[in-house]
Amino acid sequence: MTRRLRITLSNALAACAGAASTLAIFVGVVGGCVLVAGKAIADPTYSAPQVGPRLIQEEVRIPVRGGGYEVAATILRPDGQGPYGAVILNHGVPGSERERLRESAATDFNAAAPVFARRGYVVVMPMRRGFGATGGEFAEDAGPCRNPDYVRGEQAASQDVMAAYEYARALPYVDGNRMLLAGQSAGGIVSMYAAAMYQPKGLVAVLAFAAGRGGNPDLRPGTPCAVEAVARVFDTMGAKIRVPVLMHYAENDKYFGPKTTRLWHDRFVSAGARAEYVMQPSFGRDGHYVFGDIVGVRWWLPAVERFLGQNQVAFNRLDSPSQPLFAKLPVEQSDSCRALYRAFLEAPAPRAYAVSLDGRCGFAGAMEDATNVALRECKSLSGGQCALYAVDSEVVWKSDEQPTKLAVQPKGGASTGSR
């Protein structure tokens, strides 16, 4: 239930079009193009301009069960002494053994991980047993659909997650009292399970994106295997968990549909958990993957900011990008374009954002010809001409003033992103 983040232009356009179609009036249609390299999250050999705080990527091995075996993990962190918070970011489960052995956190989370790192978090992404560089036996198999043992699978997965958690908490640049567990799909539910059953010290919240087990969009679109068996896991977790949880889903999730996820949330809360349930509009061809898509930032990031803010968990960008936004444009941009600008701010460089005077927009990230692609995508939707609004870290919209830097010194309490 995880997908390689090698986004094609057609996929990015489909994601944008799906989001734009939810507007009551089809105005300010988003044109967005993103191509993310996927090889690494912070590649020191990549010559793109630096955007935001410098991030450092490391590969480590983490002992589990007193050194009985090790799991491979990728760490993405801000360059500095900290102390920073930490988030253990957990992957999903692909459908085949071949795909599991090809798992790579640098590929799966190369859009999402930098969002956390830019906000002062050390992101630790473990590969659990049976995946990627860790290899070994796949320990999370719940057995046949007619009689699955999901508890056994969560117990095995959570051992690896907690080894990464304790490793991160002991790092000299980590604030051990500002810890998050987060994940997508199976990684989301194991994050919740680890939080509930271990009640780890320093944990302040759980972020679960498209969380669940047993989904198969080819055989049972939207309805996973043994819904009630998974619901009983939510019963158990809800009775023990002590931190707030964000459960984030999309309407067109082909693994876990709204009816199923609402049931799971209700069972979780009825057992005693504090959980916020977010059902966002449809995204692209399968909303199960919104968290791993750079365009999906426009949906999940505001939900995370709101949730963590309500629970007094710090989550401000280290570079606090200023928001001159569209103040100097002669026409007001649509909410859809303002939301896409948020995705632009999180995209890897080279990046560009273009606007038209009839309220359309386009952007490209992690592309050498980002300026040309952003202009082309904007023009494909606009009835008039388009111009560049921002490139990398500068607002370049032509005016009487010089280009404006997007990054300024942090200001206490300042909100980030467009609203």
Q: Give me the pLDDT at residue 211, please.
A: 98
Greater confidence (351 vs 249) lies with 249
Distance from C-alpha of 34 to C-alpha of 364, rounded to nearest angstrom:
5
DSSP 241: -
Distance from C-alpha of 416 to C-alpha of 419, rounded to nearest angstrom:
9
CA angle 90, 96, 101 (to 5 degrees): 60
CB 57 within 8 A of CB 74: yes
Between 44-48, 77-81, 141-145, 414-418, the lowest mean confidence (pLDDT) is in 414-418
pLDDT digits (tens, 9 = 90+) for 403-417: 455 543 333 332 222
Average confidence (pLDDT) over 313-340: 73
Between 28-37, 241-250, 308-317, the lowest mean confidence (pLDDT) is in 28-37
For strand 351-356 and strand 55-64, is the pairing parallel, antiparallel, or unpaired?
A: unpaired
Distance from C-alpha of 256 to C-alpha of 234, rounded to nearest angstrom:
14
pLDDT digits (tens, 9 = 90+) for 213-238: 999 888 888 999 999 999 999 999 99
Greater confidence (415 vs 113) lies with 113
Only one residue has tokens 């790579």, namely 104
What is the token pair recorded at 386? 């388009």
Structural domain boundaries of the chain?
53-310
Residue 343 carries which side chain, given as an amino acid letter?
Answer: A
Q: Give me the pLDDT at residue 76, please.
A: 96
**pLDDT above 90 (res 322):** no
What is the token pair recorded at 329? 């444009």
Average confidence (pLDDT) over 140-163: 94
Distance from C-alpha of 319 to C-alpha of 119, rounded to nearest angstrom:
8
* Alpha-carbon separation of residue 373 from 31, 54, 351 (angstroms): 10, 26, 10
Instruction: Indicate the SS3 state at residue 60.
Output: strand
Only one residue has tokens 């592309």, namely 367
* Alpha-carbon separation of residue 272 from 186, 237, 265, 284 (angstroms): 22, 9, 11, 34
**pLDDT above 70 (res 326):** no
pLDDT digits (tens, 9 = 90+) for 26-62: 222 333 333 333 345 554 444 445 566 789 999 999 9
CB 257 within 8 A of CB 222: yes
397-406, long-range: CB < 8 A, 24+ apart = 397/328, 397/329, 397/355, 399/328, 404/322, 404/324, 405/322, 406/321, 406/322, 406/345
- pLDDT class for 181, splitting at 50, 70, 90? very high
Distance from C-alpha of 82 to C-alpha of 47, rounded to nearest angstrom:
26
Q: Give me the pLDDT at residue 13, please.
A: 40
Average confidence (pLDDT) over 255-280: 98
For strand 84-90 and strand 275-280, is the pairing parallel, antiparallel, or unpaired?
A: unpaired
DSSP 129: T
* Alpha-carbon separation of residue 268 from 44, 311, 403 (angstroms): 43, 19, 50
Q: Structure pTM?
A: 0.83
- pLDDT class for 320, splitting at 50, 70, 90? low
Q: Give me the pLDDT at residue 302, please.
A: 94
Between 22-31, 35-44, 77-86, 106-115, the lowest mean confidence (pLDDT) is in 22-31
- pLDDT class for 396, splitting at 50, 70, 90? confident
**pLDDT above 80 (res 84):** yes
- pLDDT class for 365, splitting at 50, 70, 90? confident
Average confidence (pLDDT) over 265-278: 98
Sheet holding 84-90, edge to edge: 55-64, 69-78, 121-126, 84-90, 174-184, 203-209, 245-250, 275-280
For strand 174-184 and strand 84-90, is the pairing parallel, antiparallel, or unpaired?
A: parallel
**pLDDT above 50 (res 81):** yes
Distance from C-alpha of 394 to C-alpha of 51, rounded to nearest angstrom:
10
The percent of residues above 90 in pLDDT, for the chain, comes to 57
Only one residue has tokens 């952007």, namely 363
**pLDDT above 50 (res 69):** yes
**pLDDT above 70 (res 174):** yes
Average confidence (pLDDT) over 143-156: 92
Average confidence (pLDDT) over 16-35: 32
Distance from C-alpha of 56 to C-alpha of 107, rounded to nearest angstrom:
16
Average confidence (pLDDT) over 288-309: 94
What distance lies between CA 78 and its chain's CA centroid?
A: 17
- pLDDT class for 315, splitting at 50, 70, 90? very high
Q: Give me the pLDDT at residue 37, please.
A: 35
- Dihedral sign for Cα 399, 405, 408, 414, please: positive
Q: Give me the pLDDT at residue 278, please.
A: 98
What is the token pair recorded at 75? 């760490």
CATH number listed for the domain at residues 53-310: 3.40.50.1820
Instruction: Indicate the SS3 state at residue 148.
Output: coil
Q: Give me the pLDDT at residue 331, please.
A: 63
Distance from C-alpha of 31 to C-alpha of 260, rounded to nearest angstrom:
32
Between 28-42, 56-70, 97-111, the lowest mean confidence (pLDDT) is in 28-42
**pLDDT above 60 (res 21):** no
**pLDDT above 60 (res 303):** yes
Average model confidence (pLDDT) for the chain?
A: 82
**pLDDT above 90 (res 75):** yes
**pLDDT above 90 (res 112):** yes
